[in-house]
């Protein structure tokens, strides 16, 4: 009985503080991550360092993103990404890629982030497909301790373009591996 209690306690402790599994709920990260695919997330890495551009992370979005919402924290023109999130942290978990960090300037061109005047090489994304969310030429500056998230499926992702940057404190952790299905096993 003691061994079972210790094993359960250890498993719960690992999930709470070190590594936790998550399931991909939507097509917003395709083709990198498919719906239903399972990932492992390092929950303590950002306690010792800041997130990097390109990291795939699990986080709580602003309350304006609840249930597919696109509520920005301020009135903004349609030609500008959302510069400020709504107040309050959502209870939902989202999985997206960090495309810009604190102090970076950002605009969107053909679905690609233009960060500090440069377009990164993003050969892993799915085309945006046109529309207002694909071109937001008015530049914003990412606030201190905030990160701008975008899904890899740019035409099918509700992300920071609509509900704003995410505070570092709301980032749960960095995805580092896939473990299901077996044909998609891998390390990021």
Domains annotated for the chain, with CATH where assigned, are 2-187 (2.10.109.10)
**Is 144 an active-site residue?**
no
Chain segment 8-39, per-residue pLDDT in tens = 655 555 555 668 899 999 999 999 999 999 99
Integer Cα distance of 138 and 3 in angstroms: 59
Residue 58 pairs with which residues in a beta bridge?
95, 173
pLDDT at 64: 85
Question: How many Å apart are CA 162 and CA 154, to the nearest integer?
Answer: 12
B/e letters for 14-44, b = 16+ CB within 10 Å, e = fewer, are eeeeeebebebebbbbbebbeeebebbbbbe
As a dihedral over the C-alpha atoms of residue 146, residue 154, residue 116, residue 87, rounded to 10 degrees, the angle is: -20
Catalytic choice (20, 26, 90, 96): 96
Does the predicted TM-score (pTM) go above 0.85? yes
Coil, helix or strand for 19?
Answer: strand
Q: Residue 153: what pLDDT?
A: 96
Q: How far apart are CA 29 and CA 18, in angstroms?
A: 23
pLDDT at residue 188 in the model: 82
**Alpha-carbon distance 153 to 32, whole Å?**
9
Point out the catalytic residue in the list 20, 26, 28, 168: 28
CB 179 within 8 A of CB 185: yes
Cα–Cα–Cα angle for 107, 113, 114, rounded to 5 degrees: 60
In the chain, how long is the greatest CA-to-CA distance? 62
Residues 6+ apart with CB under 8 A from 24: 33, 34, 35, 36, 37, 38, 39, 95
Residues 56-84 have pLDDT tens digits of 999 999 998 987 888 999 999 989 999 99
The H-or-E segment that residue 161 falls in is helix 160-163
Active site residue 96: yes
DSSP SS3 for 50: coil
């Amino acid at each position: 009985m003691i061994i079972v209690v210790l094993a359960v306690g250890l498993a719960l402790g690992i999930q709470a503080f070190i590594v936790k599994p998550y399931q991909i709920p939507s097509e917003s990260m395709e083709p990198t991550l498919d719906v239903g695919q399972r990932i492992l997330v390092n929950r303590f890495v950002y306690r010792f360092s800041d997130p990097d551009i390109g990291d795939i992370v699990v986080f709580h979005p602003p309350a304006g993103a609840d249930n597919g919402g696109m509520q920005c924290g301020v009135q903004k023109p349609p030609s500008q990404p959302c510069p400020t999130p709504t107040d309050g942290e959502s209870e939902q978990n989202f999985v997206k890629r960090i495309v810009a960090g604190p102090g970076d300037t950002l605009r969107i061109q053909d679905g690609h982030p233009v960060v500090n005047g440069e377009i990164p090489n993003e050969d892993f994304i799915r085309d945006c497909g046109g529309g207002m969310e694909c071109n937001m030429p008015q530049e914003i500056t990412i606030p201190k301790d905030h990160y701008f998230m975008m899904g890899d499926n740019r035409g099918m992702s509700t992300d920071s373009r609509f509900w704003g940057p995410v505070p570092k404190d709301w980032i749960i952790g960095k995805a580092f591996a896939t473990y299901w299905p077996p044909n998609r096993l891998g390390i990021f």
